[in-house]
Structure 1
Amino acid sequence: MAASSSPVNVACVWGANGISGVAMVDALIEQDRSNWNRIICISRRPTQLDVDDDRIYFISIDLLESSVNEIVTELKKAGGKNITHVYHFTYIEKQDENELDEVNKVLFQKALDASIEVAGEHIKCVTLQTGYKYYGVHKGGEYLATRPYQEDAPRHQGSNFYYTQEDLLKEYAGKHGWKYIVTRPNIIIGVSRGNFMNFALSFALYATLQKEEGQPLLFPGNEVAWNAVVDHSDAMNTARFQIWASTNNEIHNEVFNIHNGDEVRFCTLWPYFERYFGFAPHKQMFDADDIQTGEIGISQFSLAELMPKHIETWNRLTKHKQLDSSAFNYATWNFIDFVLGRAFDDHSDMSKARKYGWKTTVNTVESYIRCFDRLKEMQIIPSI
C-alpha cells in the first residue's frame, strides 16, 4: 500500500534499537529514496541495526541524562532541521506506576522539545506508539475496557503513562500546528539485536529449554487464556501502517488500534509452536479452579520462577551450539506470565483503520515463524 509522501521527507526514529524502532527503520528503507531521503535514528545504545543504507544517521545518546540542548546539538549534526516525520518508540520500564508515568513523560517531552527546536515548522506529523495498556489490560477487573476495545474507550481511573503521553502529544500538536497519529498495537512480534524484550524471544527460549530437557511444551497460563482471543501485532506490519497513516493526507489527528487482523487463540497457535520446535503433540491439562473473567495473574506455573533454575542447561546448550549466551539475560519471563495469566479476551476493533483504507491482514503463525527463523540466523536459538 503506497504512502503518499513528498520527495523531501526526513524521518526521525526515537528508540531505534528496540523491536518497533528496528522495524520502522526496515520499513522506511524498503521505500524509495524519493519518499525518504534521510532517516535519523536515536537510541541510548550504539546502533544495533543490521542494515546498510547511506540514508541512515545514528545518534547514540541517553535522553534521561542529556539536556534538551545536548540532544538538539546532536540532531543538528544529523541534518535534523529537515525532519518532517517523528516516530516515537522510547520506553523505560518501572514497577511503580508513578515512576513509570514520570520517566516516560520525560523521554517523550524531551524528544518533542528537541524536535521542535531543530525542525520547527518542517515537522508534518508526530507518531506515538502506545498499546493496549490504554485499555487497562495490565490491571484487569473494573479497570478493563469493554471488548472489543474501541479507540475512544473511556479511560480507567488512576495513573497510566499512555494517557500522559497522548495528552502531551495533543497539546504540542495544537500549539505547533502539526498533525499527530497514535497507534495502539498489542503483543508485538519482532526481533532486535541485543534487545530481546519481547514475547516471541522469551517463548522461543522457553521452548528451546523444554526441548533440550525432554519435557513437553506446557502452557503456563490458565484455561481462559488458552481459549481467549488475543491480538498480535507484527512489528513490520505495524511500522508500515504507521508510515502509511502519518503520510496519508486524508488522515489527521487520529488514534488507531493496529493488529494483524486475524483471530488468534493460544489453543490454535500452540500446535504450530510444537511442530516448529519439534515437540510431539501434548494435551494441555488445567486445574478446575473457578476463574473469574477479568482476573490477572492466574497461571499454572510461573516462568519467572521456573526458568532461572535452568540456567545451567542454557549455558551448556549455548556452549555446545555456539549460541549467544547473553540472550537469557534479556528474556522477560514476567511478561509471558502476565500475557498467559489473564482471564479475558484481549482484542480490539480495527474498523477505523479499515475505514481509512488499510486492508492488510497478517497471518500470525507466519509472523512467529519468521521471527523464530530470524532468531536462528542470529544464533539466539539452535537451528537444529
Structure 2
Amino acid sequence: MHFTIFFTAHTDSLLALGVLMAYTGYARHRTGRVRGFPWELWLGVLLATSAKGPVGMAITLPGMGLEMLLADSALMRFSKDAWIGLWKRIRAIRPFRGLALAVSLIVVWYVVAGLEVNWDFVRAALIYQNFTRFLTGLDHEHGPWLYFHTIWGDFFPWSLLLPFGLVAAWRLRAELPWRLALTWALWTVFFFSLSVSKQSKYILPAAPAIVLLSLGGLVWLFGGQAKRARRVAGTVSLSILTLFAFLAILVLPGLIFPGLIPVPKTVQGLSRLRAYLEKHPAPLVSYLYPRPPTIYALYPLRHAPIPFVRSARALYAEIHSGVIRPGSYLLVYRDALPAANRKVTSRTLSPPPNPRDFARVFSIPAQGGLILYRLLPTIRHMPVPKTPQPPPWHWWDQFDTD
C-alpha cells in the first residue's frame, strides 16, 4: 500500500512516522505505561512538525483532544467534575513543555535557513507550504469529497472492512483503543478534507489507524455479537463477486474473440489517438497529470510515464526555457481550457493555446474531450504570457517540495 509514495514523498513519509510515534506515545501514556513526561508523544509531534511545519501539530494534538472529549460522556452534560477531569488529562501530557519541544527544531531550522539562504525562502516555506496551499489549492485543487472516493482504492483491501471498523469503534468507544483509532483516522481525513489542496498521499498519516479499525472491524464482525453486520457483509461480498463474474462474462469473450463485443467510444477514441501518434511521432507533454485511461492507452506507445506540467505557469516557463520545443505535442483535456460557463481555477490553462503558436491537430470526445496541439516554430518568439503568481513570491516553484 502506497509503496511508491513512501519512497518518493520523503517529507510525507516522515510526517506519517511522526504521527504514528505521537499517537503511540499518547496511547502508552493514557494506559499508564509511561510515567512523567511523555517523551515519545512529543518527539513524534516534533518529527511531524519538522517534516511539514504546523501541519504536524494540526493533525495530532486535536485528534488527541477529541479522544479526551469522548472519554467521558458526562462532558456533554456539562458536569463540573467531568470538565475538571478533562483539564487533569490535558495537564498530564505536559502541553506547555511539550509544545516548546515540538517547535524547537523547526524554529531553529527556520532561523538557520533565513541566515544561510534568505528570509524570502523561509516565507515561501512557511506561508506557502502551510497556509497558501491549504486555503487556495493552487496546483492540487479538489472538492471536499475527494478522499471519500479515493480511500477505497488507496487503502485496498483494508478499505473493504473499514465501514465495519467504524461502526464497531463507535459502539465500543468506551474503550481507549477503539476510541483513539477512531479519532485518529476521522480527524486526519477531516482536516485534509478542509484543505483546498488535496492529494491521496496527504492522508497517509491515518493509514495505521485505518488498518487498526479494519482489523478491529473483522474481529468484531466474527466475534459472535454482530449477526446483522455479518449478514450485511455477506450480502456485500456476494454482490461484489456477482459483479466481478458479470464483468468477466462481458469482457472475456471480447478479449478471446476481438470484434465480438462493441468497443466503448472512449477506447475507440484513445486508440485513434495512439495510432495518430505512432504515425506522426514527436515528444508528448500532458497539461496536468494524464488520466488513467489515457495512460493505459498510450503506454504501449511510450513504455514510460507521460511527462506532464502541473500549471499554466510551468507550461509557458518550460516553453520559454526550451525544455518543451517546437514540434512537440501538448495534450489538453477540454475541461482544463477557459470557458464562459466555467470557473477559472489554478488548474485552468490560462491563457489558452494561441492558434498562431499551437496547431490543433487532433481531438476526441473521450473523457469529456481531449485535444492534441502541436507547437509551431513561431513558439520560439512567443512572448511569455502573464500568468497569475501565487503568494508569497513569484519564484515559489523552486521551493515546492511536493
Decide: shared fold, TM above 0.5.
Answer: no
TM-score normalised according to structure 1 size: 0.25
Which of 1 and 2 has greater Rg? 2
Structure with more of its chain in strand, by fraction:
1
Q: Which structure exhibits the higher relative contact order, with contacts defined as CA atoms closer than 8 Å and separated by 6 or more residues?
A: 1
Flag the structure with higher helix content. Answer: 2
